[in-house]
């Protein structure tokens, strides 16, 4: 794995065939103030990121919801805002999550604080890449690194495919719903993120507000 000069570089993308991180030279210039209609999500993710940069307890974050609602843009805008304060970001594709433990191992002893960014992830039946998230989310024999957090976006709340048949094992005990093993396993993955932010389609009035803001 080629080393990136993290004192000078703010972001890198994992290139699996070359087994190296490629520095990002031209960041998407999106800014936090350009993102309208997601004020609550923006506030919570900013608060979490600032706590992380300050060395305080902070969560992994899952941004889920409809396409085109600002999930990816919010993560990119965070990097632009906080890179001068030491935030560093590494983008890893879903199909490359098998390499995630090795990538994180290289970051564990570094002075900088890293967000591993996984965009638009969702897992179908038979796919097992999500298992490689566990070493970052909860560790194994070794505790997860204190200087790494995972920010992921998805159009699925629980990241994995869900079917009506999964609920056949669910039962009602008293007034509580007890899910079966299949549902519990699927829900447990998204629960490990700690911070879950939902994004919904905007209405027409907000759409024109955004257009006026961006184009005057």
Residues 13 and 24 sit within 8 Å (Cβ to Cβ): yes
More confident residue, 67 or 141: 67
* Cα–Cα distance list, 122 to 82, 104, 161 (Å): 27, 21, 8
Q: State the Cα–Cα distance between residues 1 and 44, nearest whole angstrom.
A: 34
pTM, to two decimals: 0.82
* Cα–Cα distance list, 111 to 33, 115, 211 (Å): 29, 13, 41
Show the DSSP H helices in the chain as ranges. 39-53, 71-82, 100-107, 134-137, 181-191, 204-215
The predicted structure's pLDDT at residue 29: 95
User: Over 50: is that where the pLDDT of 164 sits?
Assistant: no
Q: State the Cα–Cα distance between residues 123 and 29, nearest whole angstrom.
A: 30
Write the pLDDT tens digit of every residue in 173-201: 555 544 444 445 556 676 788 899 999 88
What 3-state class would DSSP assign to 117? strand
Question: Which residue in 139, 144, 121 sits closest to 63, CA to CA?
Answer: 121
Confidence band, pLDDT 50/70/90 cuts, at residue 131: confident
Write the pLDDT tens digit of every residue in 29-57: 999 998 988 999 999 999 999 999 999 99
Q: Where are the domains of the chain?
A: 11-159+179-215
Q: Looking only at Cα atoms, what is the longest distance across the chain? A: 59
CB atoms within 10 A of CB 196: 16
The highest-level CATH class for domain 11-159+179-215 is alpha beta
């Amino acid at each position: 794995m080629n080393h990136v000069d993290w004192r000078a570089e703010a972001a890198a993308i994992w290139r699996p065939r070359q087994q190296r991180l490629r520095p990002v030279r031209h960041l998407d210039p999106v800014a936090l103030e350009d993102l309208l209609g997601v004020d609550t999500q923006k506030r919570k993710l900013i608060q979490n990121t600032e706590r992380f940069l300050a060395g305080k307890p902070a969560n992994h974050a899952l941004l889920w919801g409809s396409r085109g609602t600002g999930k990816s843009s919010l993560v990119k805008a965070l990097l632009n805002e906080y890179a001068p304060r030491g935030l560093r970001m590494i983008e890893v594709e879903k199909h490359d999550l098998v390499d995630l433990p090795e990538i994180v191992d290289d970051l564990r002893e570094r002075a900088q604080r890293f967000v591993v960014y996984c965009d638009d992830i969702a897992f179908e039946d038979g796919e097992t890449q999500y298992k490689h998230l566990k070493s970052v989310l909860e560790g194994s024999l070794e505790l997860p690194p204190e200087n790494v957090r995972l920010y992921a976006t998805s159009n699925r709340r629980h990241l994995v495919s869900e079917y009506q048949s999964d609920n056949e094992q669910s039962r009602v005990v008293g007034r509580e719903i007890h899910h079966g093993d299949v549902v519990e396993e699927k829900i447990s993955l998204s629960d490990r993120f700690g911070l879950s932010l939902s994004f919904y389609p905007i209405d027409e009035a907000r759409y024109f507000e955004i257009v006026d803001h961006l184009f005057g």
